[in-house]
Structure 1
Amino acid sequence: MSDATPAFAPLPRADAADGSPRRVGVEIELGGLSEARVAKIAQQAFGGTLARGSGPSWKLEDSPVGALDIYLDTSLRKSEKSALRDAAMALGRDIIPVEIVTEPLDLDGLARLNRLLPHLRDGGARGSSAGLVLGFGVHFNVQIASDSMEDIRRPLTAYALLEDWLRAAMPIDDTRRILPFTAPYPTTFVRALLALPENAPLAELVDLYVQHNPTRNRGLDMLPLFKHLAPDHLASVQTEATSARPTFHFRLPDCRIDEPDWSLLTEWQRWLLVERLAEDPRLLAAMGRVWQAAHGPVTLSRRTWAQRCGDLLIGAGLAEEPIT
C-alpha cells in the first residue's frame, strides 16, 4: 500500500493524564460486502492472521493496526446457531451493516486504517447514501484527557454548542437524519448544561445528562463514559448493552465509503473542532452566552443558531465558510 496518506492532526490535548498519547478506537459500518469478504480484503491489504469466530464474525490479528474485529452488526450473531437464526440474518443482510472495530489507535494507526478504505470501496463496499434505510456511520471512541470534571464537561459543552452547526455545515446523510441513531441533544439539555454551576460535581453532570438523554441515540453518546465514571448514577437507564469505557463515544459521522473523496480524515475534522473549542474557555463561555441569548423558551429553528455559531467560529479562525 502507498504511504501517501494525509496525516491526522493531533488533538489539542495530545496526551492523557499519565503522559501517554491519547488513543482512538474506530468503528466503521458498511454494506455491500459480507463480513467474510471484508475480512479477506483487510487481510490482503494489511497481512496478518485471519480467524473465523462463532457466527458471522472474523478476527484479523497481527496487522499494522493491531487486531480488527469484523462482524455482521446484529445481536442475532450471538444467538445459538439454528436454521431460523440463519434465515433471519439472511433476510436482513441488505440493511444490517458489517462492522469493523479496531483496538485503540494512535494517529499513525488512524492513518494506516484510512488506507483500507479504497480497498473496500474497490471491492464494492457501500455507505449511507446507497439506500434509503442504510444509516451506516463511523464511530470514534476518543480517550478522555483525564477524568476531571472540566475535561469531561468542556468537550461535552463544546459539542452541545457546535452540534447544530456540524449538522448544517457538514451534513450527515438524509438516511441518518430519519433513522434512530444520532438524534441531536434536546435544547432543554443544552440550556441546563450551560446553567450548571462551575463548582458542580461530576455526579451532578451525569445526573443531568441522563435526565435529558436516557438513550444511546445521540451524536455524542456519553453513556459509556458515564458508566465508567459513575455507574451508580445510570440505574434509570437500560445500559446492559453499554460497555463502560473512558472515551467520548462520537457517533455522528457518516460512512460514505463508496464516495472517492471521503475518508476517515474528513470525519476526524469534526471531533478536532469540538476539542479545539473545548480548549478555548473564553470562546466557549462567549459562545454559551450567545446561545442563551439566541434561544427563547421554545426553539423553533436550529438553523438560525447554526448560522450564528458559524459566524462565531469564522471570527475565531476555527471555520472558513458561512452556512448558505
Structure 2
Amino acid sequence: MRNPVRELKQPPWLHTAEGGVRRVGVELEMSGLRLDELAACVAGFLGLAVHSRGRYERVLKGDPAGDWVVELDFDLLKRLGREARAADSLAGELERSAEEALAWVAEAVVPVEVISPPLALERLGEVEALVAQLRAAGAKGTSDSLISAFGMQLNPELHDTGARSITACLKAFLCLYDWLFARADIDIARRVSRYVDPFPLDYARKVIAPGYWPALGTLIDDYLADNPTRNRALDLLPLFLYLDEARVREVVSDPLVKPRPTFHYRLPDCDIHKPDWGLYLAWNDWVEVERLAADEARLKGCCAAYLEHLSRPLDRLLGDWVAVLEAEWLGEA
C-alpha cells in the first residue's frame, strides 16, 4: 500500500564529486490539455515566458536553471513543425493537409510532454506543486484511457561518474527491479509498448555477480552488447554517451540518444489525473535504489540473495522476491 504522505525523501548523495548540488530533470507525459494550454499553465505557474520553436514545440524561458520545454512527443511532427510551409500552391496545400491529418491522428494517441531543465534537488517540491496545478487544469494520465501509454521519466545527476559508483547503482537497480515494477503498477498499455523493457536475465546475472566491478570501458561494452536500445527501464545510453561518445556511437547511432551525466529512469507511469499520484511516488522508490547502492554490505548481501534466487527456476516461478526484498533488504519504503 502506498504511503499517502507526499514526503520527498533525501538520497544518500546530495552533492556531486565536484561539490555541486545534485540536480534532477523531470519529464511528464499527459493528455487532456492542448499544447498551448499546457505551455500557458506551466509558464504561468513558474513565471516564465513562452516562445515557439515550430508548430509543435514551446520553449519556456526565464528559469535560472534553464529552459523548460513543452512539446508534442512525436519526432516526425516536430521536424515538420520546424520547417516553413510552402507558399500557396497545390503542393503547399497538399503538404499542409498531410501534416494536419497526421497531427489530428497524433492528438488521440501521442502525449504532450513537459520537460524540465536540470533542477536542484530542493526544487522537486516545486515540481510536485506543478503536478497538482496541471491536474486541476485537466491533465490526464495513462489510466484515463485504454490506449494511453504515458510515462514520467527522472534524470538524476550522478554523484560520481566513476565506474564503481555506476556499477553499484546498476547492481542495486537490478536487484530492486521487480519491487520497482510492482510499486509502479504499470498500466497494460505501457506493458505492451516495450518502452521500458527489463534487462535480460543473463546480463543481470553477470552484473550482480560478486566479482563484477569492471573498468569503465568494459562496463560500457558489456552494457552495449546486451542493451543497444533506449527501451530499458533504466536507460544508461545517455550517460555512457556522455562518458565515451566514440565507444557508444560504434554501436548505437540513434540521434534521440543524447549525452548527459544522468541516469534515465523510464519505468513509472504518469497518472497525473489521480489525486493521490505525484512525483513523490517514483522519486522515493528511486531513492531506495541509491540507498542500497550506497550501503556496500547491504548491496553485497542483496546481490548474493538475488543471484541465488535467479539460479533456482522453481523459486523464480513460485517464489516472491518482492516479499524477500521488503522483509530483508529494504529500509522503510
Give the TM-score normalised by the residue count of structure 1: 0.90
1:119 lines up with 2:133 in the alignment: yes
Q: Out of 45-54 and 176-185, give the one that drifted further.
A: 45-54
SS at match of 1:272: helix
Instruction: Measure, in 2, the Cα distance between the counterparts of 1:199 and 1:219.
Output: 22
Instruction: Measure, in 2, the Cα distance between the counterparts of 1:252 and 1:317.
Output: 19
Aligned to 2:61: 61
Aligned to 2:79: 78
SS at match of 2:174: helix
Aligned to 1:282: 297
Q: Out of 248-257 and 174-183, give the one that drifted further.
A: 174-183
Instruction: Measure, in 2, the Cα distance between the counterparts of 1:58 and 1:50.
Output: 6
Paired residue type of 2:13: R
Instruction: Measure, in 2, the Cα distance between the counterparts of 1:63 and 1:247.
Output: 20
Aligned partner (choices 301, 318, 321) of residue 331 of structure 2: 318
Aligned to 1:45: 45
Aligned to 2:156: 142
SS at match of 2:55: coil
1:155 lines up with 2:161 in the alignment: no
Aligned to 2:92: none
Q: Tell which structure's C-alpha radius of gyration is larger.
A: 2
For residue 42 of structure 1, report the CA deviation from its aligned partner.
1.4
For residue 41 of structure 1, report the CA deviation from its aligned partner.
1.2
Paired residue type of 2:157: Q
Instruction: Measure, in 2, the Cα distance between the counterparts of 1:203 and 1:253.
Output: 29
Cα distance per residue 1:233-278 (max 9 Å; x no partner): 3212233220011100011111010000111111101210110110
For residue 214 of structure 1, report the CA deviation from its aligned partner.
1.4
Instruction: Measure, in 2, the Cα distance between the counterparts of 1:302 and 1:226.
Output: 34
Aligned to 2:21: 21
Instruction: Measure, in 2, the Cα distance between the counterparts of 1:145 and 1:244.
Output: 16
Instruction: Measure, in 2, the Cα distance between the counterparts of 1:32 and 1:139.
Output: 19
Cα distance per residue 1:134-155 (max 9 Å; x no partner): 1101111111111111111011
Cα distance per residue 1:201-228 (max 9 Å; x no partner): 1111111111111111111000111111
Q: 1:66 to 1:205 in 2, by over 3 A?
A: closer
Paired residue type of 2:196: T
Q: 1:240 to 1:298 in 2, by over 3 A?
A: farther
Paired residue type of 2:289: V
Q: 1:175 to 1:301 in 2, by over 3 A?
A: farther
Aligned partner (choices 109, 112, 120) of residue 95 of structure 1: 109
Instruction: Measure, in 2, the Cα distance between the counterparts of 1:193 and 1:174.
Output: 29
Q: 1:40 to 1:269 in 2, by over 3 A?
A: same
SS at match of 2:119: coil
Aligned to 2:89: none
Q: 1:319 to 1:169 in 2, by over 3 A?
A: farther
Give the TM-score normalised by the residue count of structure 2: 0.88
Q: For structure 2, which runs of at least 5 residues remain unmatched after alignment?
A: 86-94
Q: Out of 103-112 and 288-297, give the one that drifted further.
A: 288-297
Q: 1:91 to 1:111 in 2, by over 3 A?
A: same
For residue 315 of structure 1, report the CA deviation from its aligned partner.
3.0
Q: 1:6 to 1:289 in 2, by over 3 A?
A: closer
Q: Give aligned pairs, total.
A: 314
> What's the % identity of the aligned pairs?
32
Instruction: Measure, in 2, the Cα distance between the counterparts of 1:299 and 1:218.
Output: 26
Between structures 1 and 2, the one with greater helix share: 2
Aligned to 2:275: 260
Instruction: Measure, in 2, the Cα distance between the counterparts of 1:254 and 1:125.
Output: 14
Instruction: Measure, in 2, the Cα distance between the counterparts of 1:26 and 1:313.
Output: 27
Aligned to 2:122: 108
Indicate if the aligned counterparts of 1:6 and 1:111 stay in contact, CA closer than 8 A. Answer: no
Q: For structure 1, which runs of at least 5 residues remain unmatched after alignment?
A: none
